[in-house]
């Protein structure tokens, strides 16, 4: 490959009301805005927010703000995607060289290599369409730039008003909800174009079949990829539903993203208990687990085996897995907790994850998450139905 990935830079959200989403990320999830453009109303509003090592860019995308104006470092998603996570942006060594590679693979460039500069230097970027639904990737070379974000963005922080260090280290993984049967094609595309490799979730896993989890009220196929250049952060996870009865969050998500999209992002927390408690105090609702998850004797033994208490985990719905096939330490384990969707009940959501020597994704945790989110969706649907019946009466 003529150029390589350096790091996962940020995730872009395109929303119909940027002010509302920025406020929610600030107040609930403790992100701090540090750079922005378009605040004067002459171009679409774009705001960059940071929590520790995690950066989100919130772009306003509606007919009023995009008509006759341009959005920098991204390409506008056509409606009906007003509220969506849609761009995984990477820092790269050489944008023109990377683009030549992409064009040789017949990729669609939404924005060709473009230079933007200001008093602090020069940035080169391009935007390429992924093979997953409305997802695309902004590739950025900022090696010749000396400010804290990107040209044409106004700094919102100064020496007298600095960004306070946050609790999040990096974006651990990005999960795509994918149409059934599409994962092998997606994996091959990311391998050819970006150098990602299959990351097995079990020792016996077949790359084409993925890691299948099935049983009563669950049917799920997971396949993961990682990049050597990105280290342990920035994995891509593909999730497909298997034929089953009843409602499930993947198929509902695909009702709005027919060809797939970013379902959730896992944020690496250095202390998941501290971060979850702080966010919950600010109004974040985490998906609750059934009491049987924590009272099951084998799970209690597992929790006690790593020196934790079930009562502490259950307070915020935190899941524990110490049996991951990819644990790189004999006693390694991981902790996860999932927030309820950021917008509508079947939309994008955030996850907190802390890895203590484990780099996989536990089957037990996946089963618990699947059931918890399905219960949330069914409960929301029942409430909506009751509201409709009450209005009709």
Distance between CA 121 and CA 27 in Å, rounded?
33
Distance between CA 365 and CA 371 in Å, rounded?
10
- What's the pLDDT at 105? 95
Average pLDDT over residues 355-379: 69
Q: Is 137 annotated as a binding residue?
A: no
DSSP characters for 263-292?
EEEEEEESSHHHHHHHHHHTTPPBPPPPHH
- What's the pLDDT at 385? 39
- pLDDT of residue 177 exceeding 60: yes
- pLDDT of residue 365 exceeding 80: no
- pLDDT of residue 212 exceeding 70: yes
Q: Is 257 annotated as a binding residue?
A: no
Q: Is 185 annotated as a binding residue?
A: no
- What's the pLDDT at 374? 60
Cα Dmax for the chain: 66
Note the pTM of the prediction, 2 decimals: 0.90
Q: Please state which of the ranges 58-67, 185-194, 222-231 shows the lowest mean pLDDT.
A: 58-67
- pLDDT of residue 375 exceeding 80: no
- pLDDT of residue 327 exceeding 80: no
- Percent of the chain clearing pLDDT 90 (strictly above): 58
pLDDT digits over 183-199, tens only? 999 999 999 999 999 99
Query: How buried is 44 (Cβ within 10 angstroms: 0-12 exposed, 13-18 middle, 19+ buried)?
Result: buried
- pLDDT of residue 358 exceeding 70: yes
Average pLDDT over residues 301-318: 92
């Amino acid at each position: 490959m003529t150029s390589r990935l350096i790091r996962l830079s940020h995730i872009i959200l395109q929303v119909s009301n940027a002010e509302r989403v920025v406020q929610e990320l600030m107040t609930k999830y403790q992100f701090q805005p540090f750079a922005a453009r378009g605040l004067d109303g002459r171009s679409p509003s774009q705001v960059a927010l940071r929590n520790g090592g995690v950066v989100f860019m919130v772009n306003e995308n509606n007919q009023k703000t995009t008509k006759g104006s341009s959005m920098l470092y991204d390409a506008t998603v056509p409606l009906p995607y007003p509220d969506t996570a849609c761009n995984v942006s990477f820092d790269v060594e050489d944008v023109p060289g990377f683009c030549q590679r992409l064009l040789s693979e017949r990729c669609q460039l939404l924005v060709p290599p473009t230079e933007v500069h200001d008093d602090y230097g020069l940035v080169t970027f391009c935007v390429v369409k992924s093979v997953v639904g409305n997802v695309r990737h902004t590739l950025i070379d900022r090696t010749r730039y000396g400010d804290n974000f990107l040209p044409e963005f106004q700094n919102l922080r100064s020496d007298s008003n600095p960004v306070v260090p946050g609790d999040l280290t990096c974006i651990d993984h990005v999960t795509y909800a994918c149409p059934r049967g599409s994962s092998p094609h997606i994996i091959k595309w990311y391998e050819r174009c970006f150098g990602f490799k299959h990351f097995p979730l079990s020792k016996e896993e077949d790359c084409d079949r993925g890691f299948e989890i099935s049983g009563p009220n669950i049917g799920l196929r997971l396949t993961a990829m990682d990049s050597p250049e990105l280290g342990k952060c920035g994995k891509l996870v593909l999730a497909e539903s298997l034929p089953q009865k009843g409602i499930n969050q993947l198929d509902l998500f695909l009702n709005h993203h027919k060809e797939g999209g970013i379902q959730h992002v896992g944020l690496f927390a250095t202390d998941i208990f501290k971060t979850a408690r702080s966010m919950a105090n600010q109004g974040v609702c985490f998906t609750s687990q059934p009491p049987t998850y924590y009272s099951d004797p084998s799970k209690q033994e597992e929790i006690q085996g790593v020196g934790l208490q079930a009562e502490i985990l259950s307070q915020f719905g935190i899941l524990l897995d110490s049996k991951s096939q990819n644990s790189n330490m004999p006693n390694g384990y991981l902790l996860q907790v999932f927030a309820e969707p950021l917008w509508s009940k079947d939309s994008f959501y955030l996850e907190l994850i802390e890895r203590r020597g484990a780099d996989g994704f536990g089957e037990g945790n996946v089963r618990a998450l699947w059931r918890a989110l399905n219960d949330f969706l069914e409960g929301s649907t029942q409430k909506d139905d009751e509201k409709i019946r009450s209005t009709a009466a």
